[in-house]
Amino acid sequence: MLNKKNISKPIIALMFCLVFLLPSGVLNAQGLDDDKDLLLDTTSVVSIDSEVDWDLFGNQDLLRLSLSFDMKEYKKYATEPKYQDAVLTIHGMDGSIDKKVRIKPRGEFRRKYCSFPPLKVNVKKTDFDNDYLDKQTTFKFVTHCQNSGLFESYLLKEFLVYKLFNQLTDISFRVRLIQMEYIDTGKRKKVYSKYGFIIEHVNSVASRNNAFVLKNEKLGQSVMQKDHMALIALFEYMIGNPDWSVTGLHNIKVLKINDLNLPDPIPVPYDFDYSGIINTEYAIPSEDLGIKSITERLYRGICLPEEALRNGKEVLLKNKDELFRIIEDFSYLNKKEIKELSSYLKNSFDIIESESSFNREIINNCID
């Protein structure tokens, strides 16, 4: 169980683990990109003294970071992103380490919508005295959008959705929670703390599953591995997320296992902020979907073999108790929010467990 009292690991190893492992895929609710930023497998690394193995996503202690920069200058660059100097501080049990970095706003939608646009951190010119880090250029955070508790709640809920899918399959993006302190070095000298999270890079997901990434935007659900495709379609239905598509790679990455006996590609979902279980105020469903609210569920899977759907259903039912435990044990949301998440999930299982409801909502409502 995640707990606010958890503290980061020793400083030197944490510094290496954090900056080397911080993925350079998109780390905000708008998706993943910049595959070229990460050239190395980040499944696990050895600390600087080569004595301790580190796995950033295997450890769930809360990471504590500080970022010092001129906020007025940062927000000024929201319309036309430009790098500015900043200092990243990594806090640990025995002190802290400061590293000079460069940051800029990113995300086409969020740069326009958010009062605090998401961050892209450039460490290309940062001195780490480490050969591996010479190949690491940038990383990104999933950050708050607006400076309010509501948007921080959205972020924490999305973090939980990633954890739910992690429970169902290893072919998924792992995540790690961060407590970030933002320090304004400009005239206002404002300091505030917000939660965020980092997400595993797609190259790492592929590496630990003996796979590689496919970038073909013309592939559809019909050519995906049937059982995994069914599991994803059912999971997206369960959390009430209509905002995904295999074709065009919209909030989906596609992997191919390095095994001739497993020829079918495997989709991997991400970006869940438009799901009904989170219910963000900006998540407005398209009129083409035929639903009035994002909290309404809509099955977006194609008509797969019934056996595949039954197999996907079995995975959900097998993990039902653990999914509820993940939500109920999460200490960063209040009791009301936990109750709302559990209630939404329970309603999903009421449908999935009922034979008549499953046939009506899923099997008979698939996309031809």
pLDDT tens, residue by residue, 43-57: 333 232 322 333 567
Residue-wise pLDDT tens digits, 65-100: 899 999 888 888 888 888 999 998 877 666 777 878
b/e per residue, 311-341, with b = 16+ CB within 10 A? bbbebbeebbeebbebbeebebbeeebbebb
Residue-wise pLDDT tens digits, 102-143: 888 877 777 887 888 778 777 777 665 444 344 446 666 788
Residue-wise pLDDT tens digits, 162-178: 999 999 999 999 998 98
Is residue 154 a contact partner of residue 278, using CB atoms and an 8 Å limit? yes
Q: What is the pLDDT of residue 340?
A: 98
Average pLDDT, rounded, for the chain = 82
Distance separating alpha carbons of residues 145 and 147, to the nearest angstrom: 7
Q: What is the pLDDT of residue 146?
A: 87
> What ranges do the domains of the chain cover?
11-202, 210-365
Residue 350 banded pLDDT, cuts 50, 70, 90? very high
Please give the single-letter amino acid code of residue 273. D
> 321 — alpha (psi -120 to 50), left (phi > 0) or beta?
alpha
Higher pLDDT, 145 or 315: 315
pLDDT of 18 strictly over 50? no
Using DSSP, how many helices (H) and how many strands (E) does the chain show? 10, 12
